[in-house]
Each structure stands twice: as C-alpha cells, then as structure tokens.
Amino acid sequence: MTFGELLGRELRRDPGRPLLTWYDDGTGERVELSVATYANWVAKVASLLVEEHDLERGDVLLVDLPSHWLGPVFLGAAWTAGLAVAFPSSDVAPNVVVCGPASLATWAPRADDLPVLACALLPMGVRFAEPLPPGVHDVGVEVWGQPDAFTPYDPPTGADLALVEGQVTQDELFRGSAAAGSAPTATGGDRLLSAANPASPPGVAACARALGSSGSLVLVAGADAARLDAIAEAERVTGRLPA
C-alpha cells in the first residue's frame, strides 16, 4: 500500500470533501483543503522536488517546518515521489531540506551543497517579503509554475521507505493507519483532531491515519486545552490523537 494509492482512492470517492483543516490559534488563520486541493498541492510540490531539483526515488527529504498545513503537503509530495522523510532529530544526510523562517539561518549555509527550500508560511503559500540568502529557493515563488498533476517516472512501492526514523515503509505506515481507523461510513471516516506538528512522528501518524480511514484531519497550532475543546466541537471531531 502506498500514499499514492490511498490518495487516488479518496480522489475517486469524494474529491470535494475536506481532508485537512488547519488552525493557527496565534494568528487566527484557518485553512481548509479538500481532497482535490490537497492533491493539487502535493502534485505541485512533488514536481518541484523531482523536475526542478532532480530528486530521485530513495532520496531523503528533511522537513524542518513548524506546525502548518504545508507540512502534510510536503509529506505527501515526498511519498508520491518515493522519497523518505526525515526530521531535524534524524541522524541522516538529507538530499533536500525544506524549512521555515525560524530555521532558515540554520540551513541557508548548506545551500551550496543541497537544495534548501524555504517556506514563508504566509497565507495562501505566498513568497517571502524580503530577499532570501544566496542559493536558497523560495517555495512561494517556485511552486506556482508547477503542474496540478504529477506522475512519477519511477513509481514507489509499498516497500519504499516513508520515514527514516524507525525505517518505516509506506506499506507499514499506511496499512497500519488504515487498520487503526474506523470503517468509513456513507458520510466519510474519522474526523480527527491533532495538535502534533506534522513534521514529527506523532504528526505523521495523524496524517496517515486520517487518509487511511477515508477521514479528515483538524490540525491545530498554538491552542490551549479550552480552545482545543471549542475547535473540536465546532469541527465535529470524532476523535483526538496524542500530540
């Protein structure tokens, strides 16, 4: 079982339904991506990684992003292209890095050695307002020219690594996530709430379980317990996942 197979299943089943809802309680921002919109973003980023930066199946993408809706997009793009995902705590040499403003200074010096992609994390995925360090690529500039569909030249299989940490394959991640979720009903699967950063093992598990259960994920950043309760009620959450 692969990410691409699961996403393709959901596109055939109900492309217009919400798949990812993201809250930043610090800024008040709320973003909702349908299955189709999420798939378009995944395709654009996968094309950016493969066509523009020459990533190949088996390469490693290090994701150093805070909790944000672009986190699940980069995860999905990596798995679509057959890349393994690593995090800053991983003891691995990446082939490409995606970072946010807070970690830009850490990765900018590596731009001569490997592609460093930076996300401004501004609404609608727009570019940085100020020039970036030499060699660093602005995702908000480069991603918009990429196509809305992506077909890998060398399609991944379930045996390809999804996560460097624990050496977890795509089949292990998504088959286990599908088994953990409730059986989909006529109105869809689980409506899950998570306060975990997608760029972390608990966050990956949350994203995988939402997709595997034909459900959806409500991803929340910066909220206290009372606010999480309010969001859960407003979004009709059916289950909460550990952070």
Cβ contact 98:63 at 8 Å? yes
User: What would the pLDDT profile of 118-140 be if each residue is shown by its tens digit?
Assistant: 999 998 889 999 999 999 999 99
Average pLDDT of the segment spanning 101-110:
97
Domain boundaries, the chain: 3-240
Cβ contact 240:192 at 8 Å? yes
Greater pLDDT, 26 or 52? 52
Cβ contact 140:119 at 8 Å? yes
List the one residue out of 117, 109, 115, 106 whose CA is nearest residue 142: 117
DSSP H/E element including 34: strand 29-34
DSSP SS3 for 218:
strand
User: What would the pLDDT profile of 47-103 be if each residue is shown by its tens digit?
Assistant: 999 999 999 999 999 999 999 999 999 999 999 999 999 999 888 999 999 999 999
Question: Is domain 3-240 classified as CATH 3.30.1370.100?
Answer: no
pTM, two decimals, is: 0.95
